A and B are shown apart, each in its own frame.
Chain A
Amino acid sequence: MSTTETKPAPPPVEKIKIKVDGREIEVPKMTPDWQGKMQPTTMLQACALANQDVPHYCYHPKLPIAGNCRMCLVEFGTPMIGPDRQPVKNEDGTPKIAKSVLPYEPSTPRGAIACATPISPGMEIYPSSPATKQMREAVLESLLINHPLDCPICDQAGECKLQEYSVDYGKATSRFVEEKEHKPKQVDLGPRIMLDDERCILCSRCVRFSKDIAGDDALGFASRGSRNFLTNFPGKKFDNNYTLNTVDICPVGALTSKDFRFQMRVWFLKESKSVCTSCATGCNIVIGSRENKVYRYEPRENDAVNSSWMCDAGRLNYKWINSEFRLTQIKGPKTEWSLALRDIAETLRKAPLGSVAMVASARQTNEELYLLKKLATKLNALTDSVPRTGEGDKLLVNADKNPNSNGAKLIGIAPAQMGSNLPKIAEGIHSGSIKTLIVFGEDVTKCGISADLLGKLSTLIVSDILPNKTTEAAHYVLPGCAHAEKRGSFVNTKGRVQRFMQNTQPKGNARAEWEFLHELVYDVTGQNGFVSIEGLFNQMAKEVPAFQGVTWAALGDLGVTINL
């Protein structure tokens, strides 16, 4: 079973020749639009293929085209047609180009918006010409007329397109001397969104996102002219589960996240590629942290999983990483890692076969589950993990709230019906046949194994991140790491294997689970394995049939789909 990037044979692509800044380039005649339907290629897409960035605000590849910001105006020309309906030629035989000009003022170039103008054969686009430069300057000047000088207090500063384009394409000084138009500030749009109307450049990305992607038509523009402003419809709160995506796509600081508001300037954030752990969808994210404190999640584009979006619930589910209650020290007879692991290995080696049970978590990575499975096979242990279900929706949220249920099933830690072994484990402890229990990342008192039952065990070894009833009852507590503090991989609901990177350092004396599990497996089974996550993953891929042919390196940033 190798990788299954199922791609139908590509149909022959019809190409047309155009010129971008005088350089001839062949581009496909049709390009998929935001819904994946084939549409005529636009000038903006053609320029991107020619490595010429055209600045834009309202255009977003995942949203319908509005064409209202005018920032992508470019000068262009088309082959001239003579009165005989034949192309007019220059003296050297090349087709004569008629530049687009104003009809009543032929000396003035007439630009077109690159985001919504389809290309035609022989067309010439001039994204770096003086006329294009002038158009951009004029558009920026118009956008900046009423834009407040809020940059020092604006959360968008540092990742603001208005700032960037002003530097790249704008005029150095303002000619505006009149009083600026004042609009509402600090408008409470919904439970997670704060709006500043003065900063809004009316690109309508948020309006289109809410209407066409989230399906909650809550935003719109009111008034006219320079008093035009963004607002929610009267009496309708902007509170769907995808509101925070509008903060990401807002090119300026008009829509801000109440959660991230005034928390940290973005240029301090250390960002790394990761995967959201709040449900089985496994949205690709970027974690931003400073000085070992996580400040925000942002979606990362992956068309096979989450497009460019993620849900608000998943995005805000990071605060537990910074919790002051995090487990940071080993609790047990030995409090040094090497001594504690040797002690635990001794206990497990002496335990009679079948007297050990294991409850792993479907929130753990494939590599950790693989090591636990090795341990369980050696000890002939009964294993399971805890199912977690909630409400799903049509867009991204999955009803399965474990990020790695499929990984746990494929590796063999969890039975096909996850949780069906838990009553057997409880029964085993009750009858006394199970003396030792290993728990990873779960509070088993919530799923049928009560604290009284745990008291019957001779050894309870628990690894977790935050304290709970199970860690309280444990003989050994091994502090573990959140996904932001280690590397690993998950298998999402559709069988996409995705890896995530480390962003922050483990808290206190905590260690990544795969690191100490590797030592424990060696101490108990005598089998040495790989000491790096790459080697461990590749070893797992060789031994677990479902992962055959996948390597850590092949996962890349976007993952690989396997057959479930």
Chain B
Amino acid sequence: MIVKREKLNLWERLYGPAIVDGFKVTLRHFFFGKTVTMQYPEEKWTVPEGYRGAPYLVKDPEGRTKCVSCQLCEFVCPPKAIRITPPGPVVDTTTGNVEKRPKEFEIDMLRCIFCGYCQEVCPEEAIFLMKDYSLTGQSRAEMVYDKEKLLALGGVHQDKIWKWKNK
């Protein structure tokens, strides 16, 4: 197919008017427009509700780990970022009536793809994808978050079900 080139008239052949036209748009945005960029990383983006950021562990309102080490998240995790060490038969008397909880819980944030399967599969509502999206570190080892770090970052989940309260 041959596209016929349109013949430009005189007004169109003068470059000046087109340049002025273009600058009018630029200047209107420059002086009167709303700022759409931000000073990242000093300024952070407020993520919308339901955003899937990094997965962290949560505690119940009495400070107990909600996770019971069922290892379903480890099983479902597509990139195998989660690694749980089950407690074994030795009963930890310091945790009161908590029958089972993980001895160690590690998430390799370099592997994590923020898919949210762990949150979806968790039967205890113990892991949530939070709003952190930019995780940095100096080494690979530092990017493997252990149980203490995940619990500190996750905080307390205000929930009516306190699994271990009346056990």
B89 touches A186 (CB 8 A): no
A262 touches B89 (CB 8 A): yes
Number of interface residues of B (CB under 8 A): 15
Chain B residues positioned under 8 Å from A153 (CB to CB):
68-70, 99-100
Number of interface residues of A (CB under 8 A): 16
Q: Which of A258, A267, A268 contacts B89 (CB 8 A)?
A: A258
Residue on A with the closest CB to B124?
Answer: A152
Which one of B87, B89, B167 has the greatest number of beta carbons of chain A within 10 Å? Answer: B89
Cβ of A143 under 8 Å from chain B = no
The majority secondary structure among interface residues of chain B is loop
Cβ of A261 under 8 Å from chain B = yes
Chain B residues positioned under 8 Å from A261 (CB to CB):
88-89
Chain A residues positioned under 8 Å from B70 (CB to CB):
151-153, 157, 265
A262 touches B100 (CB 8 A): yes
Residue on B with the closest CB to A151?
Answer: B123
Residues of chain B from 94 to 149 with CB closer than 8 A to chain A in the complex: 99-100, 123-124
Q: Which of A152, A262, A265 contacts B88 (CB 8 A)?
A: A262
A152 touches B89 (CB 8 A): no
Cα distance A153–B72 in the bound complex, in angstroms: 11
Minimum Cβ distance to chain B for residue A163 (Å): 12
Which one of A186, A258, A263, A265 has the greatest number of beta carbons of chain B within 10 Å? Answer: A265
Minimum Cβ distance to chain A for residue B61 (Å): 20
Chain A residues positioned under 8 Å from B71 (CB to CB):
265, 268
Minimum Cβ distance to chain B for residue A186 (Å): 7
Cβ of A25 under 8 Å from chain B = no
A152 touches B68 (CB 8 A): yes
Chain A residues positioned under 8 Å from B72 (CB to CB):
152
Cα distance A262–B87 in the bound complex, in angstroms: 6
A186 touches B99 (CB 8 A): yes
Chain A residues positioned under 8 Å from B69 (CB to CB):
153, 262
A264 touches B99 (CB 8 A): no
Cβ of B23 under 8 Å from chain A = no
Which one of A185, A258, A261 has the greatest number of beta carbons of chain B within 10 Å? Answer: A261
Cβ of B75 under 8 Å from chain A = yes
B89 touches A263 (CB 8 A): yes
Chain A residues positioned under 8 Å from B88 (CB to CB):
261-263
Cα distance A267–B87 in the bound complex, in angstroms: 17
B89 touches A265 (CB 8 A): no
The list of the 6 closest CB pairs from A to B, nearest first, reads A152-B70, A261-B89, A153-B100, A152-B123, A265-B71, A153-B68
* Chain A to chain B contacts (Cβ below 8 Å), 5 pairs: A152-B68, A153-B68, A186-B99, A261-B88, A268-B75
Chain B positions near chain A (C-beta within 8 angstroms): 68-72, 75, 86-89, 99-100, 123-124, 167
